[in-house]
Amino acid sequence: MKTNPPNSNRLIPAKVRNSFTAKPATLAVALAAFVILPAYPLWLGKGGWLRVWSIERQVGKQKDANARLRQRNSASMPRFAT
């Protein structure tokens, strides 16, 4: 006859008791979700890094355009200086 250890609960069937144990893959998915979900707004949200990179690229293009226009204006200024 098989004896149960003193801390085992004989009132809960083994099938139910084993369903409450977490598997390592489940824990890994849960941990990944806790890491990735809070970081989502940082990368893809309204004020995230993708938006910052896009605006920085637009600012760079505008600075180049302003430099070209400034050069054009300074080249035409001697004509109107008199």
Residue 64 in any domain: the answer is yes
Cβ–Cβ < 8 Å for 62, 69:
no
Would 70 be classed as within a structural domain?
yes
> What's the whole-model pTM score?
0.49
* Structural domain that includes position 19: 14-80
**pLDDT tens column, 44-74:** 777 788 889 999 999 999 999 999 999 988 8
73 in a structural domain = yes
Residue 62 lies inside a defined structural domain of this protein = yes
Instruction: Name the domain count of the chain.
Output: 1
Q: What is the DSSP string of 10-39?
A: TTS-HHHHHHTSPPHHHHHHHHHHHHHHHH
